[in-house]
Amino acid sequence: MPEWVWVALLLGFSLFSIGPLLMPGYHWGAQDARHSVYFLHQFDRAIQDGVLYPRWAPDFTFGYGYPFFNIYGPLSSYVGEALHLLGLSLVDAVKGVFALAALASSLAAYLWLRLYSRPPGAVLGALLYLYAPYHIADIYVRASLAETVALAFVPLCLWAFGRLYPANGAAGPGLRGVLLAALSYAGLMLSSNLVALLFSPILGFYFLVRAWHRFDRAQPRRQLSRQSWPTALGHGLHTLVPAASGVALGLCLSAIFWLPAFLEYAHVRTDQWVGGYYEYRTHFVYLFQLLLPNWGFGASLPGPDDGMSFQLGLAPLALAALSLLRWPRLAPAWRRTGLYLSLVTLAVVFLMLPVSEPVWEAFGLVSFAQFPWRLLALTIVCLAFLGTGLFARWPGDARHLAATALWALLIILPVYPYLRSEVQPPAEGPVSLAGLMRFQQSADEMTGSTAWVKEIPRWSPLADQIMAGIEITTKVDYTAAYSTGRLAVHSQEMSTTHERVWFQADDDDQVIIFHTFYYPGWNAYILDENTGAVTARAPVVPAGELGRISVPVPKGRHVLLLAFEDTPVRRVGTGLTVLSLGLSAAASLLPAIFRRRGR
């Protein structure tokens, strides 16, 4: 049967996963549901101000601002913003991203599993991936938008890198295959810091497993000797060139994000997200929880009585176990990958259990995963593959189409009761700045602070204005400005990333303070009052317990421009991304150009 029939079958069964998203309302009560909407709200504010790559969230932490998009993968926000610009509300745009990511994840899993299975096995494996309990929980319980998007790129990376090393030992797809692998890895890097960090080592060993067959053909193990080791090493390095090139190019394509995120991460406070509720030792998973088919919309709690489920899933576990019965009959490529992913599953399960605490301590895993149960994101792709063993050799004919549909129902039915969202009105009211302030105050969320903030604020004068219905037209602290009686100020214009302030100072000892957290990239310029030309650059320093921006200004009548700009690290990251995009586009067009010239 044609391939499109199997893809249509997969999409048809995948639609059940997004059914609750197509209904009116939004699951405001889910763990990160508000976060996902207000992340897009802040991203849209910056885009509307003409910022093509936002890094600063202007209204986080009660209006003091936070470099959220400098350290948080932006891809889900870009997709949501595109849907919003097409006419969807912010809430519907977020729902749209969840739906698109879910469908994309099943298609990506199908592509990957087709490297090992005929269409029936690939369809059923893709459904195992999509309907894994943790995958469903990511959408409807956790409402983790970035991680849900990243889960679409996990199988896409496995497919793109896997096809660089065909199982039959044939030549790989060449330059375009490397470009595709790079784009898939860049997409993962731009989606979720957490998933990218956790999955990258698994991906690295995966393409080593895939490349082993090609290496063994070039340099058979039986012929290895002391004299042949240098040649074998050369063969090995040559074999890994396509995958290594894909990773390197993927890092360059995503450098606009990860380079500043990594090198400037020390400029934000992380202590507020460690300890207390976030103490990782209280969030290990008990072994029975991985097997218990329970469900809930609550939170992770200390002890075994969590409000959410950590189950691996009845169907994935059962089918993975049954696949062992057919192990000897499966293709060598399937067995090699199956053995590797089985070991990964066992290792990940171990790391989620309390007995692994010394490993977390020794390797500082908390800085990557925060909660041990987040490693469930790695198990679902492994079990999806292992569950295909029963069906990997099923032919793609009409007789097996009906059998595949029946097995698809058996995969979906155990988790079908979980496919619901707790639709409720937002407690803080409609999506707005006032709603954001109420949410930050009531939940103590989205109150991240920069490293210069000594006392995390619980409210602000800006929040008072917003709650009073007064539009924020300046972030200048007028009370501080007029306290000396020797400084007059007037804000001329303001956006999410700049403010122009006219001032008259009677001496050189005056400062203008802004209700904005200090962070590298905020720069101040003194402009001529009449021409607007830059006459000097003013220092920007953190002031007080809140670490607010303070700018010493010179005597006389001038205009102060405060602007959030790229640091050298951000410029390097942006340059790498733009350059690699250009080179990738040129490389992808070269074959077509040569073909035309050859005619």
pLDDT at 222: 58
Task: Please count the other Cβ atoms lying within 10 Å of the Cβ belonging to residue 346.
Answer: 12
- Residues 482, 576, single domain; the answer is no
In a domain, 246, yes or no: yes
Q: Does 505 reside within a domain?
A: yes
Residues 488 and 555 in one domain: yes
What is the dihedral angle through the alpha carbons of 412, 413, 418, 422, rounded to the nearest 10 degrees?
100
Q: 304 in a domain, yes or no?
A: no
182, 221: one domain: yes
Return the structure tokens found at 224.
């290895």
CB 407 within 8 A of CB 391: yes
Q: What is the CATH number of the domain that holds 547?
A: 2.60.40
| Helix/strand/coil (H/E/C) assignment for every residue in 541-574 | EEECCCCEEEEEECCEEEEEEEEECCCHHHHHHH
Q: Which residue, among 141, 36, 33, 136, has the nearest Cα to 80 in the 3D structure? A: 36
The pair of three-digit structure tokens given for residue 532, joined into one six-digit string: 């607007």
Residue 504 shares a structural domain with residue 597? no
* Rounded Cα–Cα distance for residues 7 and 23 (Å): 25
Residue whose C-alpha is closest to residue 64's, from 436, 449, 469: 449
DSSP state, residue 284: P
248, 179 contact by CB (below 8 A): no
Q: Is residue 242 part of a domain?
A: yes
Asked whether residue 172 falls in the same domain as residue 264, the answer is yes
Secondary structure of 411-426 in the HEC alphabet?
HHHHHHHHCCCCCECC
Whether residues 590 and 545 fall in one domain: no
Residues 542 and 572 in one domain: no
Identify the domain containing residue 202 by its residue range. Answer: 163-268+567-599
- What sign for the dihedral angle of Cα 511, 516, 522, 524? negative
* 508: in domain: yes
Domain membership of residue 557 (yes or no) is yes
How far is Cα 439 from Cα 68, in angstroms, rounded to an integer?
A: 17
What is the token pair recorded at 76?
A: 């889900």
Tell me if 234 is assigned to some domain: yes
**Total domain count, the chain:** 2
501 and 597 share one domain: no
> In this structure, are 231 and 171 located in the same domain?
yes
How confident is the model at residue 220, as a pLDDT?
60
Give the mean pLDDT per block of 10 residues along the chain (599 residues): 95 98 94 95 98 97 97 97 98 98 98 97 98 98 97 98 84 86 98 94 93 68 58 68 95 98 94 73 92 92 90 96 92 94 98 93 72 95 97 92 97 96 88 95 88 95 97 96 94 97 96 98 96 95 97 97 98 98 88 64
**Do 171 and 243 have their domain in common?**
yes
Q: What's this model's pTM, rounded to 2 decimal places?
A: 0.94
Q: How far apart are CA 516 and CA 501, in angstroms?
A: 14
Residues 550 and 596 in one domain: no
Question: Is 280 a member of any domain?
Answer: no
Whether 594 and 505 share a structural domain = no
**Which pairs count as long-range contacts for 199-206, CB under 8 Å and 24+ apart, including other chains?**
199/154, 199/157, 199/377, 199/378, 202/344, 202/378, 203/157, 203/158, 203/161, 204/247, 205/340, 206/158, 206/161, 206/162, 206/337, 206/340
